[in-house]
A and B are shown apart, each in its own frame.
Chain A
Amino acid sequence: MLKIKDLHARVDGKDILKGLTLEVAAGEVHAIMGPNGAGKSTLAQVLAGREGYEIVSGSVEYLGQDLLELAPEERAREGVFLAFQYPVEIPGVNNVYLLKAALNAIRKHRGEDELDAYAFMKIVREKMKLMQMDPSFLNRGVNEGFSGGEKKRNEILQMAVLEPKLALLDETDSGLDIDAMKVVAEGVNSLRSPERAIVMVTHYQRLLDHIVPDVVHVLADGRIVKSGDRSLALELEERGYDWLQKAVGT
C-alpha cells in the first residue's frame, strides 16, 4: 500500500529525514518509535502533505500513485488520514459540520452520493458510542475548549467516520490517561481490517500494549535503523534508545 524509498526531507533548511525507507502492506499495523527529534512527526506531516516540508529526494508510492504529487486534500480524499498530535481549535465551527463536510468531500471524490443529514447522523451516532463520546460533543466548536483526551478521542472519531485506507496516528497516546487510552485504543482496534493499514508514531511503548502492532520500527536520525516484531518495542522500553543509536553509529 505504502512504499517509501530513500526519502530525504528538510524543514527550514535543516535535514530531518535522511534516507528513510519503509513499506507497509494493507492489513498491517506498524509502529514507528524513536527518540525525540528523530523525525517521527516530520514523517507523518510529509505523508499528509503539510506545507513547509521540502522533499529533497526519494519517493513515496501510495496505492500505485506518486503520493508526493497530490495536494493535501487529494491525499485525504484518496484515503490518507492523519490523527494530529495537537489537533487545532476552530472556534464557531461545529464538530458535526466539519465531519459532514469532510465525509461528503471524500464520498464525492469516490463518485458516491453525498449523505443527507439523517443518514450521516446515523453513522456518527454509532461511532460516537464506540468512542464513548457524549452527543453534546457534536455541537461544540471543533476542538474548542476540549481537554487533551477529548481532542484525541475526537481525532479517532473522525477516523472512524471517514474510514481511511491509510491511517497515520501521530503520538495519539500523548496526554491520555489510562482510561482514555483504552477507549482510543479500542476505537483504533475496531478499525483494523485487511483493507486498511495503520502507522502509529509513538515515543512510548505503552500504547502498543493496547494496539498490538505487526511490525515495530525504530526511527533515529532520519532513518529506520531497526525493524522487528512486538518484542523490539519491549526491548526499547527496557534499554532506551541509546544502545541502538550507538549500535548503528548515529
Chain B
Amino acid sequence: MATNEHELEHLVSRKYKHGFFTEIEADTVPPGLNEDVIRFISAKKNEPEWMTEWRLKAYRHWLTMPEPKWAHVHYPPIDFQAISYYSAPKRPEDAPKSLDEVDPKLLETYDKLGIPLHERARLAGVAVDAVFDSVSVTTTFKEKLAEAGVIFCSFSEAVQEHPELVRRYLGSVVPARDNFYAALNSAVFTDGSFVYIPKGVRCPMELSTYFRINAANTGQFERTLIVADEGSHVSYLEGCTAPMRDENQLHAAVVELVALKDAEIKYSTVQNWYPGDEEGRGGIYNFVTKRGDCRGANSKISWTQVETGSAITWKYPSCILRGDNSVGEFYSVAVANNLQQADTGTKMIHIGRNTRSTIISKGISAGRAQNAYRGLVRVLPTAEGARNFTQCDSLLIGDRCGAHTFPYIEARNPSAQIEHEATTSKIGEDQLFYCLQRGLSEEDAVNMIVNGFCKEVFRELPMEFAVEAQALLNVSLEGAVG
C-alpha cells in the first residue's frame, strides 16, 4: 500500500510543490525521493555533471524495478517516500549529551567488548568536541600511504580529486541497474570509501574504515570502491565489533572491488548493527550488494565476514572470476539470535579458464532466529577446468530457531569440478554436559563450542579482528541457552 508503483508514478510525475530552493538553505531535505532530491544531494557534494547524470539514470531505472521478495526474510513494507535521503551532520543538541543518556544495555556491551571509554562516546553518538585523539595516528598513517602512492579517501573526496578513476570504475562491477537496492544506492548514496592501489604496490598496512577521515555520517547509503591495479595487494577491514547505534533503519550499501592482473584484494567485515530488542523492534535492515571482479589473470579476491548484527541481513558478497586462473574465496560466519533474520551467501561466477573458488559458510541460529544460506556457483562454457569447493555448516542452539540452505549450481562446462558439503547440527546436550562436568559455566561452554564451529572462518581474519570477532560472538549469543 505505502509504496506501490502507482504512488511512485504519481510522485514522479507531480511537480515539486514546496519550493525546493528554500530547502537548500536548510541543509536537509524532507522525506521523499524525486529527481530534485537527487540533484540536491549531488549539488551539495559539488559533483560534476556526469556524476549527477549517473545518479539520475540509476533513479529512473529504480522506479521501474519491483522490490525483491525472494529472500527468506519477512518484514513490513518499507515506505521509501518516508525516508529522508539527505541530512546534514546531526546537530549536537539532538545527540545524547553524555553517556548517562545512552541505553545502559549498549554500554554494558561496550564494557564486555573492552571498548575504551573515549571510543564508547563516539560509538553511542554522544556529542563530544574532541571525538578521539586520533589526529596524530591519522597523520602518520596518511603519510605512509602517500609514500606508497596508495589513495585512500572518502568517496566524495575521490569524486573531486580523482574523477578519472572514479568515472572509470564506478558501476563497472555492480551496475546501477543491478538490483533494486543497488539502483537506489546509486541514485542517492551520500558517501563511503575509495581505495586505489597502484601497479605493483603492496599496501603497507591494513586499511580500515576505522581510520578513515570523515567517516562520520556516511549515512545509510554507503558506497565503497576498491581498485587494485596490476600486481598490487591490499587488505581492507570494514566495520567495527562494537554495536553502532543508528537512527536509520534501512541500510543499502554497495561495495565494488576490482582486481586487475595478478592483484589481490582481501576484504574483511565485522558487522554488528543494532539487531533490535528481544522482540526485534527497531533493528537495522541491512540490504547490501557486495561484488568483486577478478578482472585480470591470476587475480584473487577474498571475502571474510562475521555478521552478528542487524534485524535483517540480505547480503551476498560475490566474485566474478573473469581472468584466467583467478581465485575467489568466501568465508562467512552469520549469527542470528532472538528474532534476527539472515539471508546471506555468495555467488561465484566462473568465466575464465582454471578459475577456482572456495566457499566456507557457518550459520549459527539461536532464539527464534532464521538463518539462510543462499549460494550460487555458476560455471560458464568458457571456464575450462573451473573448480569450486563449498562447505556449508549450520549450528542450531535451542529448538525454536531455523537454518535453511539454498545452494544453486549451474555448470555449463563439462570439465568443471564442483563439490558441495553441508551439515546441520545442534549444540548437543552431550557436548554441553561434557563441558559442564569439567567445571565450565554454561555460557563458557556454549562460547567454546560455537567458536570451535567457526574456527575455519576466524582463521582467515586478520589477527586483531579475529580476537574481537570471538568476543563479539560470545556477546551476541549471551543467554542463548537456558
On A, residues with C-beta under 8 Å from B are 48-51, 71-73, 75-77, 81-82, 84, 87-88, 90-93, 97-99, 101-102, 105-106, 109, 141-142, 158, 162
Contacts and interface: CB of A to CB of B under 8 A. Distances in A.
B428 A92 contact: no
Contacts of B433: 48, 50-51, 72
A76 to B, nearest CB: 4
Contact of B448 (A51, A98, A106): A98
Given A84-B434, A88-B428, A92-B454, A105 B449 contact: no
B440 A92 contact: no
Contacts of B442: 73
Contacts of B431: 88, 90
Contacts of B444: 101, 105
Interface in B399-458: 428-431, 433-442, 444, 448-449, 451-456
B439 to A, nearest CB: 4
B439 A76 contact: yes
Nearest to A76: B439
Nearest to B453: A92
B434 A91 contact: no
Contacts of A99: 438
A73 B429 CA distance: 14
Nearest to B448: A93
Q: Closest 4 interchain pairs by CB? A: A92-B452, A93-B452, A102-B438, A76-B439
Contact of A76 (B428, B429, B438, B452): B438
Nearest to A101: B440
Contacts of B451: 92-93
B59 to A, nearest CB: 47
Given A97-B448, A106-B439, 19 more contacts: A48-B437, A49-B436, A51-B433, A72-B436, A73-B439, A73-B441, A81-B437, A87-B434, A88-B428, A88-B434, A90-B435, A90-B448, A98-B438, A98-B448, A101-B448, A105-B438, A142-B452, A162-B438, A162-B439
Contact of B437 (A82, A101, A109): A82
Given A97-B448, A98-B448, A105-B441, A92 B436 contact: no
A190 B338 CA distance: 49
Interface in B368-382: none
A102 B437 CA distance: 9
Given A93-B448, A101-B448, A51 B440 contact: no
A124 to B, nearest CB: 14
30 contacts: A48-B437, A51-B429, A72-B433, A72-B436, A73-B436, A73-B441, A73-B442, A76-B437, A82-B437, A84-B434, A88-B428, A90-B452, A91-B453, A92-B451, A92-B453, A92-B456, A93-B448, A93-B452, A97-B448, A98-B435, A98-B438, A98-B440, A99-B438, A101-B438, A101-B440, A101-B448, A102-B435, A102-B440, A105-B444, A162-B439
A221 to B, nearest CB: 26
A91 B430 CA distance: 13
B442 to A, nearest CB: 7
B2 to A, nearest CB: 46
Contacts of A50: 433
B439 A77 contact: yes
Nearest to A164: B439
A90 B434 contact: yes
B211 to A, nearest CB: 32
Contacts of A109: 439
A97 B448 CA distance: 9
